[in-house]
């Protein structure tokens, strides 16, 4: 571990750009462009995580979130903070280039929207990062919300 502190996280390191599609029963479908960065800190067993999205045709900002992707024993944890008043901790057992996360903790501020559960899946295959996101909100059960395919812009 001392020689390679990132281990299974190494394939995720870098800046990724591309686009995705969103849908949910309570909103209109939409398309977006996204940049995700998993930034390294030399010698540390984690990656800093930043995601920024923009509406594909209008160019206006849609969503942003920050956090860390870190090793935790044989597992990987994703820690995310959102400006909408949410924090989440998700855990996955790495399988090849796939991280299928399940929620350990999801907390929200008193005035945040009623999100009850989220689930994420990241898959790296060479220079392609595909992710999916599911959400349970208000009276809507866990439902697929986002799918994106991003390409490595830099390592």
pTM of the model: 0.93
Structure tokens at 75: 């597992």
Residue 155: what pLDDT?
74
| Strand-strand pairing, 75-82 and 98-100 | unpaired
For the stretch 109-133, pLDDT in tens is 999 999 999 999 999 999 999 999 9
Contact present, 77 and 90 (Cβ < 8 Å): yes
Q: To which H or E segment does residue 41 belong?
A: none
On the question of pLDDT at 5 being above 90, the answer is no
Kindly report each contact of residues 107-114 with a partner whose C-beta sits within 8 Å and lies 24 or more positions away, as own/partner. 109/85, 111/85, 112/84, 112/85, 112/86, 113/84, 113/85, 113/137, 113/138, 114/138
Beta-bridge partner residues of 87:
81, 107
- CB atoms under 10 Å from CB of 80, counted, come to 20
Candidates 78, 77, 59; CA nearest to 19 is 59
Sign of CA dihedral 8, 78, 116, 54: negative
Residue 154 confidence class, pLDDT cut points 50, 70, 90: confident
What is the rounded distance in angstroms from the CA atom of residue 99 to the CA atom of residue 120? 8
Question: Which pLDDT tens digit goes with each residue over 41-69?
Answer: 998 999 999 999 999 999 999 999 999 99
Name all domains of the chain by residue range, CATH numbers in brackets. 7-152 (2.40.128.20)
């Amino acid at each position: 571990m001392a020689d390679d502190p990132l281990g299974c996280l190494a394939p995720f390191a870098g800046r990724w750009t591309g686009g995705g599609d969103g849908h949910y029963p309570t909103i209109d479908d939409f398309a977006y462009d996204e940049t995700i960065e998993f930034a390294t800190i030399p010698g540390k067993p984690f990656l800093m995580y930043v995601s920024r999205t923009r509406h594909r045709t209008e160019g206006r900002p849609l969503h942003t979130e920050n956090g860390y992707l870190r090793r935790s024993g044989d597992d990987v944890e994703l820690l995310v903070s959102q400006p909408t008043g949410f924090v989440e901790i998700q855990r996955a057992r790495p399988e090849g280039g796939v991280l299928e996360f399940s929620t350990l903790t999801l907390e929200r501020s008193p005035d945040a929207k009623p999100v009850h559960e989220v689930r994420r899946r990241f898959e790296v295959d060479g220079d392609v990062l595909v992710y999916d996101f599911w959400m349970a909100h208000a009276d809507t059960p866990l439902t697929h919300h986002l799918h994106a395919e991003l390409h490595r812009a830099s390592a």
